[in-house]
Structure 1
Amino acid sequence: MTRLIELSHRITDGMLTYPGVPGPRLGVHLSREASREVYAPGTEFHIGTVELAANTGTYLDTPHHRYPDGPDLSGVPLEAVADLPGLVVRAEGERSVGADRFTGLEVRGRAVLVHTGWDRHFGTEAYFHGHPYLEPEAARWLQEQGAALVGIDSLNIDDTPPRGERPAHTLLLGAGVPIVEHMTGLSALPDTGFRLHAAPPMVVGLGTFPVRAYAVVEER
């Protein structure tokens, strides 16, 4: 038997994901009322619109987000973002997550998800300040050991701001390792024994986009 676990935040009108990034604007292209003039009696539809920054909600970073010549959303293969064997690393209560947290773990070919518990602050001002992040040495270790994808339930996988440096992004995306930020629900996952799905739409020229991340847990 299998069980599905939601790992994404809902996207709502005006929500804030990251300081300075505008919230999404949800609208209507064709209302149900207006559609009654287009379709046969008794038939109606709703066609909505959405205007959003690509870094909204739970989203995936591709190499193109950091490097102009890196694969974008349409260039990253499905195998890199879907049906990946998963591993959760518990780091609740830690501000900086060091390489020692990963020592001895087999991460090659796996989606490594860092559970900090920071998602409990999502949607509040507290979420934007003092968030957990990966130390550069940890990102380097994951890159060198062949992690397939790295996710975190925090504002950013790197410390912010300072000086705008992003070593974890630079190391992981430079090695072709996608990143999923602003995850949630990692506390419900087992440490192993699940598969991660976090595929974005194939938008040419974009490096990031929201995903419906979820885990398929194998139960016996």
Structure 2
Amino acid sequence: MKIIDLTHTISEDMPVYPGTEPPKLQTANTYEKDGFKETLLTMFSHTGTHMDPPAHIYAGRTTLDEFPITQFVGKGLVIDCTDLNEGQLITMDYINHVRDKADVAEFIIFYMGWDKHWGTDAYFGDYPYIDEEVTKYIIESNKKGVGLDVIGIDPISDGNLSIHHKLFAENEIVVIENLANLGQVGNEIFTFCALPLKYLSSDGSPIRAIAILEN
């Protein structure tokens, strides 16, 4: 068995969505004064590698703490889209190329190689994004989730979050953003685990995402 960490480290100088304050990691207790170390974490619920539920967009829809734990573990498939240039669309050609695997996968994860820009201004550029047909496929095939190694499933220029709205309107699905190290996973079905914090009425949460590959 091989386990790959797909999660960016949370730090005070990490990239955050434009307009969002970066996290704060404040030392609350020290070895010298208190005999132990404790850190006060202050961050938005969509910080770093994180997960969005339907309640992120729609009032009254499912929050992360309302999902069964089975929502966060399942068969994943990484789809390589690294040949795309800035602002280009991920079309059904990428799905159809691996359709037999895509149909059985519970999580579709798009690999743009964008994590190489993590920590730079380029990370907020015109990354590739999914088109309407791919969005429709994800909805109609009842996937547990869709993931990407960019800051959002919508293009950075779309303040209306159109793709979020379509995915979350009626489906019980999660969106995972800011994944890392997808190039290490390969193109076979693997076990994907993405566990959010369980806090009340959670509209989103940082996660620890991993890929479990069988030998």
2:212 corresponds to 1:216: yes
The correspondence for 1:101, drawn from 94, 97, 102, is 94
1:77: Cα distance to partner?
1.4
Whether the aligned pair in 1 keeps the contact of 2:6 and 2:181 (CA below 8 Å) is: yes
- Aligned-partner residue type, residue 14 of structure 1: D
Task: State the Cα deviation string for residues 126-184 of structure 1 (Å, max 9, x = none).
Answer: 1101112111221111111222210001121111223x232321222231110100101
Paired with 1:209 and 1:65, the residues of 2 have a C-alpha distance of 10
Normalising by structure 1, what TM-score? Answer: 0.89
In structure 2, the partner of 1:169 is 164
Q: Which runs of 5+ in 2 are unaligned?
A: none
Q: Rg: which structure is higher?
A: 1
2:75 corresponds to 1:85: yes
Paired with 2:95 and 2:113, the residues of 1 have a C-alpha distance of 17
2:103 corresponds to 1:112: no
Paired with 2:193 and 2:141, the residues of 1 have a C-alpha distance of 21
**Over aligned residue pairs, what C-alpha RMSD do you find?**
1.4
- Aligned-partner residue type, residue 43 of structure 2: L
- Aligned-partner residue type, residue 93 of structure 2: D
Change (3 A) 1:55 1:107: same
Matches within 5 A, 1:12-31: 12-31=11-30
1:109: Cα distance to partner?
5.3
Task: State the Cα deviation string for residues 42-97 of structure 1 (Å, max 9, x = none).
Answer: xx311111101111110001111011111112112111112x11111111132221
In structure 1, the partner of 2:56 is 65
Q: Secondary structure at the match of 1:79?
A: helix
Change (3 A) 1:108 1:68: farther
- Aligned-partner residue type, residue 69 of structure 1: G
More helix per residue? 2
Moved more, 194-203 or 133-142: 133-142
Whether the aligned pair in 2 keeps the contact of 1:197 and 1:215 (CA below 8 Å) is: yes
Paired with 1:183 and 1:109, the residues of 2 have a C-alpha distance of 18
Q: Secondary structure at the match of 1:142?
A: helix
1:206: Cα distance to partner?
2.3
Whether the aligned pair in 1 keeps the contact of 2:77 and 2:105 (CA below 8 Å) is: no
- Aligned-partner residue type, residue 172 of structure 1: L
In structure 1, the partner of 2:126 is 130
1:108: Cα distance to partner?
4.5
Whether the aligned pair in 1 keeps the contact of 2:76 and 2:190 (CA below 8 Å) is: yes
Whether the aligned pair in 1 keeps the contact of 2:124 and 2:156 (CA below 8 Å) is: no
Paired with 2:154 and 2:132, the residues of 1 have a C-alpha distance of 8
Q: Secondary structure at the match of 1:180?
A: strand
1:29: Cα distance to partner?
1.7
Paired with 1:173 and 1:154, the residues of 2 have a C-alpha distance of 19
1:17: Cα distance to partner?
2.1
Q: Secondary structure at the match of 2:195?
A: coil
2:85 corresponds to 1:76: no
Q: Secondary structure at the match of 1:198?
A: strand
Q: Secondary structure at the match of 1:107?
A: helix
Normalising by structure 2, what TM-score? Answer: 0.91
